[in-house]
Amino acid sequence: MIISPLGHSCFLLEESTGTRVVTDPYSSELGISLPPLTADVVTVSHAHYDHNNVSAVSGDPMVIDKPGMYEVKGVSVFGWSTFHDEVNGKARGSNVIYNIRMDGVNVCHLGDVGHGPSPLMIEAIGPVDILLVPVGGNYTIDAEVAKEYVDRLMPSVIIPMHYKTDDVDLDIEGVDAFLDYFDKDDIEYVEGGKAEFDRSDFDDDYSMKVICFDKN
């Protein structure tokens, strides 16, 4: 499978069969614009402009924006209801975490989760090979709480998202505070705009690493 970062919390996940999943497509109000996209599935963690621009994705995709179990063209999607804040949704509403299984690899997208992990959450989410985790704080969890999710879910690959970049005009922190929790040898800066994985990568004592697509 191939993961391509598209900015903010949006990723294109491509299975070897050709099935394509887009996560949390954003509006150009964010300050950046999505490239032309076609997908079979679009997952939406919550109904904010920087996560729910479904109309930007062509191909008549199935839109998944609620918790539940879904199966689309051989790809399994499990959504678990959480909150966008620390006060049970009273400040920013709900958030859906998705565990997406393709090519035998479990990819967990935490959306804009705004609170720490509970034992029930960790059990419900299930096994995670690749974790897409927000780290910018303010509107989501910050670097410290993001590291808690890493420690509890124990993914092999961590990809930070939803952090400050030169083009995103949001009051959030950059990625460095999160990267500081890891040894430099465990951080891999990937060029070329995509990363490719195979189930066998995770079956052969795959050591944990953080993948960052933005060189800071």
Number of domains in the chain: 1
The model's confidence at residue 93, banded by pLDDT at 50, 70 and 90, is: confident
The values of phi and psi at residue 65, to 5°, are: -135, 20
The values of phi and psi at residue 191, to 5°, are: -100, 160
Q: What is the CATH number of the domain that holds 189?
A: 3.60.15.10
Length of the chain: 216
Give me the pLDDT at residue 200, please: 84
Rounded CA gap, 75 and 177, in Å?
34
**DSSP state letter for 7:** E
Residue pair 154/202 in contact by the 8 Å Cβ criterion: no
Q: Which domain holds residue 38?
A: 2-212
pTM metric for this prediction: 0.95
E strands present in 84-203: 94-102, 105-109, 130-134, 157-161, 187-189, 195-196
Whether residue 164 has pLDDT greater than 60 = yes
Determine the residue type at 37: L
Nearest one of 209, 214, 195 to 3, comparing CA atoms:
195
Nearest one of 8, 7, 100, 30 to 62, comparing CA atoms:
100
**Average pLDDT score, the chain:** 93
Instruction: Report the pLDDT averaged over residues 51-56.
Output: 95
The model's confidence at residue 215, banded by pLDDT at 50, 70 and 90, is: low
111: left (phi over 0), alpha (psi -120 to 50) or beta: left
Q: Which two tokens stand for residue 139?
A: 């509107």
Rounded CA gap, 209 and 73, in Å?
30
